[in-house]
Amino acid sequence: MKYLPKQLANEIKERYNFLEKFEESERKTQSRKIKKRVVEKNAQIHSYRLENPKSGVPFSVPRNKDKRSIKNGIKNIEDAFRWGKKNFDPETFKESFIREIARRIMPELYAGIGMYRDMGTRITGSRVTPPYPYKLINYEIPEFVESMNRQLTCQNIINRIETAIYAHFHVARMHPFIDGNGRASRTLQNVILDYFDIPLPVIEAGERITYYQILDKAVYDWTHKKSTGEIKHGATEGEQLFYNFIAGKINNSLDKIISSCNNFH
C-alpha cells in the first residue's frame, strides 16, 4: 500500500531513524522508554474516552460517581494491550487474536473468547451499515486475515504503519462485535505498532468528532469503491485522510519522545 504522502512518510522515517540513535546511550534509552510508556497510557485513556465522551479521567474527577467503571474500562484496554504484546506474532496472525482482544476489552460480555455478533447492527451517525453476520464471518473476516498476513511480511517502517492503520480501519468498518469495536480496532493497531517499536498515536477525546467524521468518510468511500468494482485502483480520498490523520498522530508521538530524550540530563 501507498496511502501516506511522500512528505509525511519522509518526516516519520527521519524522526524514527533519529530516535534509533539514542539506543547508543543507556540513560537516554531509559528516558525514551519512560516517555513511550506515558504516550502508551495516554493512548489507552483517550481510547476509552472517545467512546465515553461524558466521562472524565478518574484521578482528575474526585467526585465522579462512575469512577470505578471508568477505571475498569481503561484497565480492560491496558489488559488487552498487554496480552496482545505478549502474544502477537506477525508470522501466525489469526482471527482468534482479534477475538481475544475484544474479549479482554469487554470481559463482562464474554465468558470465553470474544464472539462475533449474530445480528445486523448500525453505527450511530454513520452513512454505511456494517456487513451482516453471514458476510462478515464467511467473507470479510477471512479476507481481512489473509490481507493482514500478506502485509505483515513487509520490512519498511511506512508499510508497517500502513498495515497497523489498515487493521484499525477495517475492524472499525466491519464492526464484528456487539460492543467495544472502536477500542478493539485501536488496540489491535497499537499492538502491531508496538511490536515494531513504533510509538502509538494518541487520538485525544477532544478530537472525537473529527476522528469519527474522518473514519466515516473513509468507510463510505471504501464501500463505494468496492461496490463499483474499483477496489484495486488505489486509495480513495477518505482512506487517505484517515491514514494521514493516524500517521500524523504517530509523527506527533515521535516528536514528544525525541523532545524528552533531548531534555534528559
Question: Where is pLDDT greater, at 142 or 264?
Answer: 142
Structural domain boundaries in the chain: 6-262
Count of H-run helices and E-run strands, the chain: 10, 0
In this prediction, residue 125 has a pLDDT band, given cuts at 50, 70 and 90, of confident
On whether the CB atoms of residues 32 and 258 are closer than 8 A, the answer is no
Fold of 6-262: Fic-like fold (1.10.3290)
The predicted model scores a pTM of: 0.92
Measure the CA–CA gap between 233 and 231, rounded to whole angstroms.
Answer: 6
**Average of per-residue pLDDT across 190-216:** 96
Poorest-confidence range of 17-21, 58-62, 120-124? 58-62
On whether the CB atoms of residues 47 and 29 are closer than 8 A, the answer is no
Which cell is 254 given?
Answer: 515521535
pLDDT at site 244: 97
**Residue keyed to cell 495516554:** 42
**Average of per-residue pLDDT across 102-121:** 90
Question: Where is pLDDT greater, at 158 or 111?
Answer: 158
In this prediction, residue 190 has a pLDDT band, given cuts at 50, 70 and 90, of very high
Judge whether residue 201 has pLDDT over 90.
Answer: yes
In this prediction, residue 179 has a pLDDT band, given cuts at 50, 70 and 90, of very high
pLDDT at site 149: 97
Q: Give the rounded distance of the alpha carbon of 121 from its chain centre.
A: 21
pLDDT at site 59: 54
Question: Where is pLDDT greater, at 37 or 161?
Answer: 161
- Give 87-109 pLDDT, tens digit per residue: 999 999 999 999 999 999 999 99
Measure the CA–CA gap between 141 and 135, rounded to whole angstroms.
Answer: 9
pLDDT at site 58: 60
Q: Give the rounded distance of the alpha carbon of 38 from its chain centre.
A: 17
3-state SS of 136-179? Answer: HHHHHHHHHHHHHHHHCCCCCHHHHHHHHHHHHHHHHHHCCCCC
pLDDT at site 233: 53
Q: What is the mean pLDDT of the chain?
A: 89
Judge whether residue 28 has pLDDT over 60.
Answer: no
Judge whether residue 9 has pLDDT over 90.
Answer: yes
Could you give the percent of the chain with pLDDT greater than 90?
Answer: 70
Measure the CA–CA gap between 43 and 186, rounded to whole angstroms.
Answer: 9
Measure the CA–CA gap between 70 and 25, rounded to whole angstroms.
Answer: 38
Measure the CA–CA gap between 255 and 257, rounded to whole angstroms.
Answer: 6
